[in-house]
Amino acid sequence: MTTEARLQLIAETSATFSPWTGEFTYNDLLNWRNRELSNFQSIPPENILHIISGNTPHAAWQTLLRGLVLGAHNRLKLPRQGLPEFENHLPASLIHHIEVSRDLPDHWLAEAGAVVVYGNDETIRHFRNLAPLEIPFIGHGHRVGIAIIDDPSPEAARLAAKDIIEFDQKGCLSLQTIYLDDARAFGPLLSAALAEAPPQELTLSEYGAISNLRQEITYLAAQEPENYQLWSHSHSTVIYDGTPQLSLSPGHRTVFLKPRHTFKSERFLSGIGLYPYRERDDLPSPRIFPLGKAQEPPFAWAHDGLLPLASLVRYQERGNS
């Protein structure tokens, strides 16, 4: 099958991918491929092994799309728990390019021409040690999303709540911490916006973790009222934390508000939401996006700052030029 025919076939399945990748056309795919690969003699892998975490469906669909665009045979090792029904939604016209398993067959790793791993740092180190040294290896580890808000308005609170609620803060782009000049004033606005969302179901351990955190913050607020404040609702938790360290959320609609001056570059930032949005070149994150768009990266986005197609291929030099 030619590249053009393959991309046309993929474009016809856009509706299947679009909830997780955004919509695309044949020309979008062709331009994407040409932008990353046309200046070199590229050799795509015959087989790509994708190790998928269970946080959100985004990673599985996005990495599968990249493998299909490259013309590779794609083997997806899914988590044993999570992503239910994923296999049932695969496009029938492309199924001969896809294998899915909840276990990892031994030959998948041995035959891989490239490996993509989503998971925690321990998982990535494990597969990096197992993968052949000569093939491309891409690891997407633990990352967090934050926001910087210059106009702490009710609209900003609504958009921030959207980025917090979607996928229950399980994605690498989900907001965990928000930086503002007057962070305390934004607390009631954000708490009210989160309270409008439908309730969520928590396990006993999840409820216990959030309950313990609320008790801890209540105690700290009594000891250091200049550094801590809590706004809690039956299914959301907003915390003002005036200390310099980046605060990591336990999820389940728990978010930290911090003074703007405490912001500093962190290597594990995945995205920064801005409100109002404006172009900036002084922020360290691989993705800068308008607040409210955390979970809507474009299909060709540079995940963790890596070009998604170019990072998976090998290049061949020919001639003297």
Residue-level pLDDT at 265: 74
- The verdict on 36 and 84 lying in the same domain is yes
- Residue 233 in domain: yes
Residue-level pLDDT at 290: 97
Summarize the confidence of residues 268-292 as an average pLDDT. Answer: 92
* 203 pLDDT above the threshold of 60: yes
- The verdict on 34 and 158 lying in the same domain is no
Q: Any idea what the CATH number is for the domain that residue 22 is in? A: 3.40.605.10
- Residue 320 in domain: no
What's the 3-state SS for the chain?
Answer: CCHHHHHHHHHCCHHHHHHHHCCCCHHHHHHHHHHHHCCCCEECCCEEEEECCCCCCHHHHHHHHHHHHCCCEEEEECCCCCCCCHHHHCCHHHHHHEEEECCCCHHHHHHCCEEEEECCHHHHHHHHHHCCCCCCEEEECCCEEEEEECCCCHHHHHHHHHHHHHHHHCCCCCEEEEEECCHHHHHHHHHHHHHCCCCCCCCHHHHHHHHHHHHHHHHHHHHCCCCEEEEEECCEEEEEECCCCCCCCCCCCEEEEEEHHHCCCCCCEEEEEEECCCCCCCCCCCCEEECCCCCCCCCCCCHHHCCCCHHHCEECCCCCC
Residue-level pLDDT at 245: 86
- The verdict on 127 and 212 lying in the same domain is no
Structural domain of residue 111, as residue ranges? 3-142+300-315
- The verdict on 221 and 259 lying in the same domain is yes
Residue-level pLDDT at 198: 87
Cα 241 to Cα 118: distance, rounded to the nearest angstrom = 30
- The verdict on 157 and 107 lying in the same domain is no
Residue-level pLDDT at 320: 60
* Percent with pLDDT over 90 in the chain: 71
* 321 pLDDT above the threshold of 70: no
Residue-level pLDDT at 84: 87
- Residue 321 in domain: no
Out of 106-115, 147-156, 166-175, 272-281, pick the least confident.
166-175
- The verdict on 137 and 158 lying in the same domain is no
142-184 pLDDT, tens digit each: 888 999 999 999 999 999 999 999 888 887 888 999 999 999 9
* 206 pLDDT above the threshold of 60: yes
- The verdict on 309 and 200 lying in the same domain is no
- The verdict on 65 and 107 lying in the same domain is yes
- Residue 255 in domain: yes
Q: Any idea what the CATH number is for the domain that residue 277 is in? A: 3.40.309.10
- Residue 28 in domain: yes
- pTM score, whole prediction: 0.88
* 319 pLDDT above the threshold of 70: no
Summarize the confidence of residues 119-129 as an average pLDDT. Answer: 93
- Residue 217 in domain: yes
Residue-level pLDDT at 56: 80
- Residue 168 in domain: yes
- The verdict on 87 and 151 lying in the same domain is no
Number of domains into which the chain is organized: 2
Computed over every residue of the chain, the mean pLDDT equals 92
- The verdict on 108 and 58 lying in the same domain is yes
- The amino acid present at 5, given as its one-letter code, is A
Comparing 271 with 317, which gets the higher pLDDT? 271
Residues 6+ apart with CB under 8 A from 61: 17, 19, 20, 21
Summarize the confidence of residues 106-128 as an average pLDDT. Answer: 95
- Residue 295 in domain: no
- The amino acid present at 210, given as its one-letter code, is I
Summarize the confidence of residues 105-124 as an average pLDDT. Answer: 94
- The verdict on 127 and 190 lying in the same domain is no
Cis peptide before 132 (omega within 30 of 0): no
Residue-level pLDDT at 118: 95
Residue-level pLDDT at 284: 83
214-268 pLDDT, tens digit each: 999 999 999 999 999 999 988 899 999 999 888 778 889 999 999 999 998 777 8
Helix axes 58-69, 26-37, angle to 10 degrees: 70
- The verdict on 185 and 279 lying in the same domain is yes
